Amino acid sequence: MRHALELVAVSPGIGGVLLRGERGTAKSTIARSLAALLPAGSMRTLALGATEDRVLGGLDLEATLADGTPRLMPGLLAEVDGGICYVDEVNLLDDHLVDLVLDAAASGLVRVEREGLSASRRAAFSLVGTMNPEEGALRPQLLDRFGLCVDVRGETDPAARVEVIRRRLAFDADPDAFIARWATGEEALAERLREARALVARVELPQPVNDLIVDLCRRAACAGHRADVVMAGAARAEAALDGRPVATAGDVEAVAELVLAHRRRAAPPPGAPPAPAPQDPDRPG
């Protein structure tokens, strides 16, 4: 989960990350903690009842009447530029709104067409969506548009579960001391993310790395080409996080499952004979 969020923080154009999993596994907590390390240092939550005007922006009626020309009122996505847009229970959000948010996350722009007003605003935000599969599925068309996907489960190791208890109790007892204890590590991570964001656009993908990406996506029987493009972007982000200007096969392997987890389809191997047609049981053999 942390790995996927770091990749999206470095390269928001990957298209966001979907965290699928059971309740109480700190999905929203880790998103908030990452937001504090981003340029804007903010996280905005998109409520299930949000309207299109609230998300994208709309006509500022008061300013328009005062000036006599259409004026745009920024929406939530423009407000979160440089931070995190968090969508809890994204599977329960209206499909049209999910589409709009995913478009903006991938393009880095919010486009508004309202009452004769046409405008675009920059919105380079990192998208984090969460869902509990027990509460309903996300349509395959929308699921595919999330760049990365992680299936989150609670810890099963007893020692790790004890450590969760200890850290939570330590925070409750003295939040300031707890935060100070991890401040140096957080500052180092913030600097690492800053350097990676400055480098990622210059990271090269050699031909053998591109060939590996295509091979992995073909073997996973992914529909279309989105998986290839996302995996290339994620591999560049992985290399940038390590401070390297050239992506390697190891970078691809490190991000492949995050890209393929929600896109992999069952398919016969290339060249396999077609399955025999079902026989009519009433037809004599």
275 φ, ψ to 5°? Answer: -65, 140
Can you say how many angstroms the Cα of residue 237 is from the centroid of all Cα atoms in its chain?
A: 13
Instruction: Kindly provide the b/e burial profile for residues 25-64, where b requires at least 16 CB atoms within 10 angstroms of the residue's own CB.
Output: bbbeebbebbbebbeeebbbbbeeebeeebbbbbbbeeeb
Q: Would you state the structure tokens that stand for residue 18, as one six-digit string?
A: 């979907």
Nearest to 28 by CA among 87, 101, 76: 87
Q: For residue 7, what are its two tokens?
A: 């990749």
Of 200, 214, 216, 219, nearest to 265 by C-alpha is 219
Active-site residue list: 226
Q: Which tokens belong to 123? A: 């919105």
| Residue keyed to tokens 């398919």 | 267
- Which positions ≥6 away from 30 have C-beta within 8 Å? 1, 2, 5
